[in-house]
Amino acid sequence: MNSPLLPAGFTTSGTTCGIKDSGKPDLALFVSESAAAVAGVFATNRILGAPVIVSRERVPSETARAVIINSGNANACTGEQGLNDARQMTADVATGLDCDAADVLVCSTGIIGVTLPMDVITAGIPTAVDALETSTDAYKSAAAAMMTTDTFAKQISIDVQLSTGTIRIAGAAKGAAMIAPNMATMLAVVMTDATLSSAQCDEMLRYGVDRTFNCISVDGHMSTSDTVLLLANGASDTAPATDDDERKLRSAVQQVCEKLATDIIRDAEGAEHFVIVDVAGFDTCEAAFRIAKEISESALVKTAITGNDPNWGRITSAAGYAGIDFDTSFLSLKINDTEVFQAGTPVEYDESALSQQMSENREVRLLLELSGGPASGSESVRFWTSDLTQEYVRLNSEYTT
Amino acid sequence: MNSPLLPAGFTTSGTTCGIKDSGKPDLALFVSESAAAVAGVFATNRILGAPVIVSRERVPSETARAVIINSGNANACTGEQGLNDARQMTADVATGLDCDAADVLVCSTGIIGVTLPMDVITAGIPTAVDALETSTDAYKSAAAAMMTTDTFAKQISIDVQLSTGTIRIAGAAKGAAMIAPNMATMLAVVMTDATLSSAQCDEMLRYGVDRTFNCISVDGHMSTSDTVLLLANGASDTAPATDDDERKLRSAVQQVCEKLATDIIRDAEGAEHFVIVDVAGFDTCEAAFRIAKEISESALVKTAITGNDPNWGRITSAAGYAGIDFDTSFLSLKINDTEVFQAGTPVEYDESALSQQMSENREVRLLLELSGGPASGSESVRFWTSDLTQEYVRLNSEYTT
């Protein structure tokens, strides 16, 4: 996606107000020129960042105008002051846009337990408003200003042909560490110029997030501040008219979420492998999900992949402790396209060739399949994870979140 | 525990039959001279090693005579052949002891997916039987022969004064290697010369294991072969006669289990810190346990401790995603004896002094306390874990099967 494009009626900016010692961009602003329907999905942690508490109260809504995001400070565990600061950020944006503060959403990411430097933020917001543009450059700047330890900006835009016309969906996200299902320290803003109600936004966003952001894991640590927002401003004057249109839109939202979520995994701290975990043949999605999650979060599976070791024992044993009552004798596993475990029994295969293949490719695919017995069925789940490297440990033992 | 002593009526041996390429001891035998009551606790993984399947069928019992353990090969994922081999090991021991094979229990730890070299094992078992002794040296040899990647043998014995006389409880374990390069396993054998029924053994063992072995985590990966056994042969001719005797015995079993379990954490691969996680003030043990477990298994908490970083945000946020509905404003956290978070708010403290203290001591203590609101109460749980180091990743990724 070399030239991500904003949907009609959206402007963005990425500027530097001075939160980060590094002097890198730290303020991202996403604005709809007219009232937009909005839905949000948030961290379920009992310890929530102040911006999550404030934004959660403001969705769903039919009148959203903007999302202000700062990086470098998560405004979490900051008590009453933190809530006041989060609300102040939305008020500052509302002043600049001449709208109601309640129509501005706010996200923060970075260090926990330190109050925001509100002087530089309040001073910086008018600059962020002045910098708003519809250009690809402005969109790229906004995505870059969300970054913390990310090494590249994550964004995408796609056009969707509905029976009533063409609409665009675009999204930007940040990720890196503290990534686990049910939202982690990841933020994403998805925008569309389609005409949708907030209820439609909510349904499509949850459908997409369940299959993408909730199926990624770097380290199983759920953050305090995860937020995914979907804004629909209707600037294309195109609403879905048929069931097929709805399906196409839902699928496009999922596609945008999947691109952003997998980019987060591609950019996982210290990762050397991008791992696709498919779990198939279970009677419920929940069962497949729990197994995929255990495999994806096992330090032993992840370190084996780091070492290009097709260590199927670590993978099947992680499946075994997911709490699903299956019969091992119906279980099979492929690593990439090589069958290593079939019907509960190890398979003879060329281990050094498979290891070589793993060392030469960043992507590794695991396919665990159940073919009969208790808990078997036709449901499958795809999960994405990264390997666990010495560099991950170095980064997270030398850096204060 | 420089001179661990066997309880009366028990003999042990540790010998080398030739399973390990290294030539190190690989066969441990624990024998009761008379029929012993026995109880066992086993891995709950859906994928179980053959010895677990065989031994699980043989407990509880009032007539156990021996436990044969081999290291170097876990006999897991080895199908019908594996079950036959596990049974054959018990038959070989039964021949040597002139007892029933059903009264012999078996454990294996080491590589998975490879069938046992039964020729050397069958040839080695008579040697193991011949080497049986009551001496401390024989007991040390048995503990050493259980080891895989353990760097030291884990054993203990304690004497307990009951109203009816003195009994001894002794235990040996191997571990570390929850996280060992090849799916090793935690095994422990606890022996007492007290007179107990298998039902009493079962109750005391579960009480102890729940508070010790089930409260340790190196990397959260449950193996296929974990086994803890308690044998009571009555050779002291001393049975608990009062409630107080029962309490003392239960407490002594717990003490033996705690020593073995914490030694496993002390010997965790690559670990630089030994971490005690106390969670207090919850309405149920289950709630406190879930929070302690999430904290103990968080890669971000563990890497922070590696970096001597008193990063309370990672600790409180891990507590927050344990699925317990508490109110943050009643939550407090101490790291060692320093209060860093009080009633939901960060506390001013000398961060560099605390970091310095963490760097100078192997042991780190976390105390998370809830003082009111939903889910608060008087239950507490202690968990033990290790930090996550680059060395852990190196050990577990550089190993190639």
Average pLDDT over residues B252-273: 91
**The pLDDT of residue B237 is above 70:** yes
Q: For residue A85, how far is the Cα from the chain centroid?
A: 25
- A1 within some domain: no
Phi, psi at B165, each rounded to 5° = 150, -175
- B256 within some domain: yes
How close does chain B come to A340, measured CA to CA in Å? 11
**Whole-number percent of chain A with pLDDT over 70:** 95
Question: Does B108 contact chain A (CB < 8 Å)?
Answer: no
Q: What are the pLDDT digits (tens) for B277-329?
A: 999 999 999 999 999 999 998 888 999 999 999 989 889 989 998 989 999 89
Phi, psi at A266, each rounded to 5° = -60, -30
Domain extent at residue A349: 274-398
Q: If you count residue pairs, one on A and one on B, with CB atoms under 8 Å apart, how many are there?
A: 194
**The pLDDT of residue A299 is above 90:** no
Max mean pLDDT among A6-15, A182-191, A260-269 falls in: A6-15
**The pLDDT of residue A120 is above 80:** yes
Same domain, residue pair B34 and B74: yes
Same domain, residue pair B43 and B141: yes
Phi, psi at A188, each rounded to 5° = -145, 140
Which 8-state DSSP code applies to residue A6? P
- pLDDT for A345: 86
Give the residue from B231, B248, B266 where a domain finishes: B266
Question: Does A371 contact chain B (CB < 8 Å)?
Answer: no
- pLDDT for A176: 63
- pLDDT for A97: 98
- pLDDT for B222: 65
Same domain, residue pair A56 and A163: yes
Q: Are B300 and A28 in contact (CB under 8 A)?
A: no
Same domain, residue pair B160 and B42: yes
Chain A residue numbers touching B317 (CB-CB < 8 A): 45, 47, 76, 112, 178, 221-224
- pLDDT for A47: 82
- A5 within some domain: no
A299–B299 CB contact, under 8 Å: yes
- A302 within some domain: yes
Burial class (CB in 10 A: 0-12, 13-18, 19+), B330: middle
- pLDDT for A222: 62
How close does chain B come to A317, measured CA to CA in Å? 6
Same domain, residue pair B19 and B140: yes
Phi, psi at A3, each rounded to 5° = -130, 75
Q: How far apart are the first and last CA of chain A?
A: 30
Q: What are the pLDDT digits (tens) for B318-336?
A: 999 898 999 989 999 999 9
Q: Which of A293-297, A366-370, B43-47 has the lowest mean pLDDT?
A: B43-47
Query: The tokens of A305 are what?
Result: 């992949």
Q: What are the pLDDT digits (tens) for A39-60?
A: 999 988 888 899 999 999 999 9
Indicate the pLDDT class of residue B401, thresholds 50, 70 and 90. very low
Other Cβ atoms less than 10 A from the Cβ of B360: the count is 8
Quote the CA–CA distance of B30 and B14 in Å, as a whole number. Answer: 9
Burial class (CB in 10 A: 0-12, 13-18, 19+), B244: exposed
Question: Which residue of chain B is at minimal alpha-carbon distance from A303?
Answer: B397
Quote the CA–CA distance of A394 and A137 in Å, as a whole number. Answer: 34
**The pLDDT of residue A178 is above 60:** no
- pLDDT for B183: 41
**Whole-number percent of chain A with pLDDT over 90:** 76
- A64 within some domain: yes
Query: The tokens of A335 are what?
Result: 């690593």
Q: Which of A312-321, A325-334, B135-144 has the lowest mean pLDDT?
A: A312-321
**The pLDDT of residue B157 is above 50:** yes
Other Cβ atoms less than 10 A from the Cβ of B104: the count is 27
Q: What are the pLDDT digits (tens) for B191-234?
A: 999 999 999 999 999 999 999 988 887 766 667 778 999 999 99
- Comparing CA positions, the residue from B303, B296, B312, B301 lying closest to residue B351 is B312
**The pLDDT of residue B145 is above 90:** yes
Average pLDDT over residues A253-262: 94
Q: Are A77 and A113 in contact (CB under 8 A)?
A: yes
Residues 282-341 (A) with a CB less than 8 A from some CB of B: 297-300, 303-304, 306-314, 316-322, 324-326, 328, 341
B300–A182 CB contact, under 8 Å: no
Q: Work out the angle between the directed axes of helices A285-297 and A312-320 (0-180°, nearest 10).
A: 130
**The pLDDT of residue B179 is above 50:** no
Q: What's the one-letter identity of residue A265? A: I
**The pLDDT of residue B79 is above 90:** no
- pLDDT for B176: 61
Q: What's the one-letter identity of residue B304? A: A
CATH classification at residue B282: 3.10.20.340
How close does chain A come to B273, measured CA to CA in Å? 13
Burial class (CB in 10 A: 0-12, 13-18, 19+), A245: buried
Question: Which residue of chain B is at minimal alpha-carbon distance from A269?
Answer: B300
**The pLDDT of residue A179 is above 60:** no
How close does chain A come to B3, measured CA to CA in Å? 35
Which residues does A241 contact at the CB level (< 8 Å), separation at least 6?
A: A162, A163, A164
Residues 80-99 (B) with a CB less than 8 A from some CB of A: none
Q: What are the pLDDT digits (tens) for A325-338?
A: 999 899 999 999 99
Same domain, residue pair A85 and A121: yes
B222–A389 CB contact, under 8 Å: no
| A334 DSSP β-pair partners | A339, A367
How close does chain B come to A349, measured CA to CA in Å? 13
Q: Work out the angle between the directed axes of helices A299-306 and B390-398 (0-180°, nearest 10).
A: 70
- A3 within some domain: no
Same domain, residue pair B259 and B284: no
**The pLDDT of residue A107 is above 50:** yes
Average pLDDT over residues A229-252: 96
Annotation marks residue A185 as catalytic? yes
Q: What are the pLDDT digits (tens) for B106-120?
A: 999 988 888 999 999
Same domain, residue pair B106 and B251: yes
Give the residue from B226, B250, B266 where a domain finishes: B266
Residues 193-222 (B) with a CB less than 8 A from some CB of A: 219-222
Same domain, residue pair A285 and A220: no
Give the number of domains in chain B.
2
Give the residue from B223, B242, B266 where a domain finishes: B266
Q: Are B62 and B202 in contact (CB under 8 A)?
A: no
Same domain, residue pair A227 and A281: no
CATH classification at residue A168: 3.60.70.12
- pLDDT for B8: 97
Same domain, residue pair A247 and A121: yes
Question: Does A44 contact chain B (CB < 8 Å)?
Answer: yes
- pLDDT for A27: 98
**The pLDDT of residue A369 is above 60:** yes
Asked if the bond preceding B4 is cis, omega within 30° of 0, the reply is no
Average pLDDT over residues A255-265: 93
- pLDDT for B148: 85
Question: Does B376 contact chain A (CB < 8 Å)?
Answer: no
What ipTM score was computed for the predicted complex, to two decimals?
0.75
Average pLDDT over residues A228-243: 96
Q: Which of A336-350, A365-379, B183-197 has the lowest mean pLDDT?
A: B183-197
- B5 within some domain: no
β-bridge pairing B274-282 and B376-386: antiparallel
Q: What are the pLDDT digits (tens) for A338-355?
A: 999 999 888 999 999 999
Question: Does A372 contact chain B (CB < 8 Å)?
Answer: no
**The pLDDT of residue A157 is above 90:** yes
Query: The tokens of B322 are what?
Result: 């344990």
Cα torsion through A275, A280, A285, A288, rounded to 10: -60
Provide the whole-model pTM. Answer: 0.82
Same domain, residue pair A208 and A350: no
- A301-334 burial, b at 16+ Cβ within 10 Å, e below that, comes to bbbbbbbbbbbbbbbbbbbbbbebebebebbbbb
